């Protein structure tokens, strides 16, 4: 059973008069999460470049910059276009840009914002360089390193150094530094890889100006990324930290009260004594289990399990509950993965001090190209 002390729960659910399923965001909690993270990074001399894939909202991106972030990170060009349209001028795209259409979009972005892009191959770097030269724009490139996350990235420190050297000889692109999305719980391994990559680059006469790491699970251990004589990392790219979710609670980034994002869903059927059906399915939660065996924590019924999702239905096993939900009851659910949930909705309903206050658009919803 979860420890579900939650001071905001009764106040805002009792006042809810909208339709479900709805995403509800406690903006007071968001603000506390933002301030906590910015203060921690500042105290260790690390710059923030938050990842907007979690909130996908202009208002939050601008607030992150107001609090001290040097710029933002976007995973896809569509997100970057939305943020550039809003006047945000320093953007890292942490995903390989492949194909002539996407490269053309990148060139258009580079005319109105300072753009940096992660690359892990000579082919991608050369294609961007060629287009930048033809369009008379300048971009910065970071070499992405696979330090154990097993996504994109060069596979060794020497490979990182060799790619960095090649980039320095390409026109219209500047080699900026190193980027990685490290595996959680492996801070020392990440530090060792990056330290070796920096040394290998310097041996070739190449100086990385920025060492960029990311991820929320280990963000409050970022000060441990001391790269021997190289000092600490330069910037961190957390995403989920401002909303948090069940996964982050599980990894002790914060507690239940740091989870700003909730899903409100209504019990629409009680077909059996041990099953309740809610009006939120895979089109609300996503099907991302994040390693759990069910799809979220129901705060009012912590022993219930959202065991299965159809597109519009959530199948809730209430067999372990002493008191069981009734038809028409509104449930408050902390999802497993906030980022996936955000991209499935047009807006957040916002609360402050337990009262519904406004709504915030998910401006970059569906921007996955």
| Band of pLDDT at residue 4, cut at 50, 70 and 90 | low
Report percent pLDDT > 70 for the chain. Answer: 96
**Together in a domain, 15 and 96:** no
50 near 242, Cβ under 8 Å?
Answer: yes
CA neighbor of 179 nearest in space, from 89, 73, 108, 84: 73
Q: How far is CA 297 from the centre of its chain?
A: 20
**Together in a domain, 101 and 208:** yes
CATH of the domain at 14: 2.40.37.20
**Together in a domain, 210 and 255:** no
- Tell me the mean pLDDT in the region 22-41: 97
| Band of pLDDT at residue 354, cut at 50, 70 and 90 | confident
**Together in a domain, 100 and 161:** yes
Amino acid 12: pLDDT: 74
d(CA 346, CA 308): 24
Q: Tell me, yes or no, whether 123 lies in a domain.
A: yes
Amino acid 236: pLDDT: 97
276 near 269, Cβ under 8 Å?
Answer: yes
Q: How far is CA 90 from the centre of its chain?
A: 17
**The pLDDT of residue 181 is above 90:** yes
Tokens coding 43:
């105290």
Amino acid 1: pLDDT: 40
**The pLDDT of residue 8 is above 60:** no
**Together in a domain, 251 and 171:** no
The residues, any chain, with a CB within 8 Å of residue 104's CB and separated by 6 or more, are 131
Q: Tell me, yes or no, whether 45 lies in a domain.
A: no
End-to-end, the C-alpha distance of the chain in Å comes to 40
- Name the domain boundary from 209, 238, 267: 238
CA neighbor of 154 nearest in space, from 192, 120, 196: 120
**The pLDDT of residue 138 is above 60:** yes
360 near 347, Cβ under 8 Å?
Answer: yes
- Name the domain boundary from 200, 216, 238: 238
| Band of pLDDT at residue 33, cut at 50, 70 and 90 | very high
Q: Tell me, yes or no, whether 250 lies in a domain.
A: yes
Amino acid 73: pLDDT: 98
- Cα Rg of the chain (Å, integer): 22
**Together in a domain, 209 and 312:** no
Amino acid 283: pLDDT: 97
Q: Give me the number of domains the chain comprises.
A: 2
Residue range 236-266, pLDDT digits in tens: 999 999 999 999 999 999 999 999 999 999 9
Q: Tell me, yes or no, whether 366 lies in a domain.
A: no
- Tell me the mean pLDDT in the region 332-344: 96
Say if residue 168 is exposed, middle or buried (CB neighbours under 10 Å; 0-12, 13-18, 19+). middle
**Together in a domain, 194 and 309:** no
Q: Tell me, yes or no, whether 44 lies in a domain.
A: no
Mean pLDDT across the chain:
94
Helices (H), ranges, 7-118: 9-15, 27-43, 58-66, 77-85, 100-110
- For every residue of 202-249, which 3-state class applies, written as one string? HHCCCCCCEEEEECCCCHHHHHHCECHHHCECCEEECCHHHCCCHHHH
pTM, entire model = 0.94
- Name the domain boundary from 203, 238, 273: 238
Q: Tell me, yes or no, whether 305 lies in a domain.
A: yes
Tokens coding 256:
């239940």
**Together in a domain, 105 and 254:** no
d(CA 167, CA 34): 35
**Together in a domain, 325 and 255:** yes
Q: How far is CA 38 from the centre of its chain?
A: 15
| Bigger pLDDT: 107 vs 226 | 107
Residue range 320-329, pLDDT digits in tens: 999 999 999 9
350 near 285, Cβ under 8 Å?
Answer: no
**Which residues constitute the domain of residue 133?**
51-238
Q: Tell me, yes or no, whether 186 lies in a domain.
A: yes
**Together in a domain, 260 and 324:** yes
**Together in a domain, 215 and 250:** no
Amino acid 9: pLDDT: 55
Measured in degrees and rounded to the nearest 5, phi and psi for residue 324 equal -120, 150
**Together in a domain, 317 and 231:** no
| Band of pLDDT at residue 13, cut at 50, 70 and 90 | confident
336 near 298, Cβ under 8 Å?
Answer: no
Q: Tell me, yes or no, whether 208 lies in a domain.
A: yes
CATH of the domain at 69: 3.20.20.10
């Amino acid at each position: 059973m979860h420890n579900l002390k939650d001071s905001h729960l009764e106040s805002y659910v009792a006042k809810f008069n909208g339709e479900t399923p709805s995403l509800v965001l406690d903006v007071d909690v968001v603000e506390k999460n933002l301030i906590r993270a910015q203060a921690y990074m500042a105290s260790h001399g690390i710059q923030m470049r938050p990842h907007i894939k979690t909130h996908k909202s202009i208002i939050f991106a601008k607030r992150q910059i107001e609090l001290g972030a040097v710029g933002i990170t976007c995973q896809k060009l569509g997100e970057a276009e939305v943020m550039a349209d809003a006047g945000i001028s320093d953007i890292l795209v942490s995903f390989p840009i492949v194909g002539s259409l996407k490269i053309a979009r990148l060139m258009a972005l580079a005319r109105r914002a300072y753009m940096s892009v992660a690359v892990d191959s000579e082919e991608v770097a050369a294609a961007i360089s060629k287009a930048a030269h033809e369009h008379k724009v300048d971009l910065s490139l970071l070499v992405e390193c696979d330090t154990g996350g097993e996504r994109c990235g060069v596979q060794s420190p020497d490979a990182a150094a060799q790619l960095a050297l090649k980039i320095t000889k390409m026109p219209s692109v500047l080699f900026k530094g190193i980027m990685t999305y490290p595996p959680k719980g492996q801070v020392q391994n990440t530090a060792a890889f990056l330290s070796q990559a920096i040394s290998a680059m310097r041996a070739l006469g190449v100086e990385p100006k920025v060492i960029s790491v990311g991820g929320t699970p280990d963000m409050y251990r970022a000060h441990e990324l001391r790269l021997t004589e190289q000092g600490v990392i330069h910037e961190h790219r957390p995403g989920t930290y401002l909303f948090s979710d069940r996964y982050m609670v599980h990894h002790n980034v914060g507690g239940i009260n740091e989870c700003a994002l909730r899903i409100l869903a209504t019990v629409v059927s009680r077909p059996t004594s041990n099953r309740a059906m809610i009006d939120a399915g895979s089109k609300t939660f996503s099907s991302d289990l994040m390693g759990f065996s069910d799809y979220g924590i129901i705060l009012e019924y912590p022993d219930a399990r959202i065991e299965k999702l159809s597109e519009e239905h959530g199948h809730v096993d209430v067999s372990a509950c002493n008191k069981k939900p009734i038809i028409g009851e509104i449930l408050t659910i902390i999802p497993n993965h906030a980022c996936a949930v955000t991209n499935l909705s047009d807006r957040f309903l916002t609360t402050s001090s337990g009262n519904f206050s406004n709504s915030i658009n998910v401006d970059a919803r569906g921007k996955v190209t």
